Amino acid sequence: MDQSTVNATILLPMRQLEIHVVHSCNLTCESCSHYSNQGHKGMLGLETADRWLAGWSRRLKPTLFKLVGGEPTLHPELSAMIRLARHHWPHSHMSLATNGFFLHRHPELPRALHETRTVLSISQHHQSPEYLEKIQQIVELVQAWKREHDIAAEIVPSYRMWTRRYRGTGATMEPYEDGQPRQSWTICPAKWCAQLYLGNIWKCAALAYLGMQHERYHLSEKWADYLRYKALEPGCSDDELREFLGREEESCCGMCPAVAERFELPSPLLPLRMRGADKVERGAVAP
C-alpha cells in the first residue's frame, strides 16, 4: 500500500465540528455569534451537504458532530440531513441544536433521532414569562417523543452563558480591540466549535459567517484582517490538518472580547425593530 493510500485512511480525531443547516432564525438573540439574528437567509441543500461532508469524513473523526443554525427546524428536509450526517460519521456523537419552536413541523424527526442516535438539544434563550410559556409547550412535546420513540433530549439554559461577541449590529457592527487574542481564546465559549462551511473548515462561527455578514452589510475596515482569514480546504495535507486541529489562539481571536462581557439579554421573541437602539442598516432601523 503506497503512502497516499495510507494517509487517505487515517481518521484524525477532533473535539467538535458543526454545520449550519439554515442561516436564518425565528429568534433575535442579541450578539449571536452566528449572526443569525441579523436577517440572513438560505439553507443547505442535501447534495451540497453530502459533498461538503464527503470532503472530510474520510479524514476526520469528530468526537461530537452538531447540526446547528440559525434554526435547523426551518429546514424541510431536516430528518434526511441528520441521516446524511450519520452516514458520513457513523461513530461520532451527534447532536441537533434547536430552540424547539418548530419541532411540531417534523413528525418524522423523532424516528430519525432514534435511528441515528442523535441527541436533541433544546436551547433556552430567555426566562421571561412569555418565553417560558412557549418553551413549556416544547418540553411537553419532547417528553412525549422520549416516551414514544426512546430518544435522548436535553434542555440547555443558553441564556446563562450568553456574552457579547461584537459591538453593535448590522452595518454598525464592530470588533473588539482589546489586543489580547490569547485571553480572548481562553474565555471563548466556542473555542472548539469548528464550522464546516463552503466545504472548508473554519475555526469558529464568528469567522465562518463573517463574509456573509460583510456581503449583506458592508462592514467597516476594522474587519478587513478578519475577513482575510483562510479556512482549511479539503485538499490540505495531513500535516496542515494536524496543525489546524492543534491550534489554540490566533490573531483573529482578537475580534472577540478579552474579558467576558455579560448583559441582560433582551427577549429574543422581539424583532430588532422593536428594540429601538438596535441599528441594522447605517442610519436606519431594521425593517
What is the pLDDT averaged over residues 8-15?
83
The confidence score (pLDDT) of residue 272 equals: 57
What are the start-end ranges of the H helices in 173-253? 181-187, 205-208, 210-217, 224-227, 238-246
Cβ–Cβ < 8 Å for 70, 40: yes
Nearest to 95 by CA among 156, 40, 52: 156
pLDDT on residue 271: 75
The whole-number pLDDT of residue 10 equals 77
Instruction: Return the higher-pLDDT residue of 261 and 271.
Output: 261
C-alpha–C-alpha distance, residues 121 and 58, integer Å: 27
Number of domains forming the structure of the chain: 1
Q: What CATH number is associated with residue 179? A: 3.20.20
Examine the pLDDT at 283 and tell me if it is beyond 90.
Answer: no
How distant, in Å, are the alpha carbons of 10, 22, 100, 199 from that of 86? 19, 18, 21, 17
Q: Is 279 a residue whose pLDDT tops 90?
A: no
Rounded to the nearest 5 percent, the helix, strand and coil shares of the chain are 40, 20, 45
All three cell numbers of 243: 496543525
Give the global pTM. Answer: 0.91
Alpha helix segments (H runs only) across 55-104: 78-88
> What angle do the packed helices 46-54 and 78-88 form, to 10 degrees?
20
Residue type, 200: N
Q: What is the pLDDT of residues 164-208, one digit of tens each?
A: 999 999 999 999 999 999 999 999 999 999 999 999 999 999 999
In the prediction, which pLDDT does 256 show?
97
Show the domain range for 172: 3-285
The predicted-structure confidence for 205-251, as pLDDT tens digits, reads as follows 999 999 999 999 999 999 999 999 999 999 999 999 999 999 999 99
Tell whether the model's pLDDT for residue 145 goes beyond 60: yes
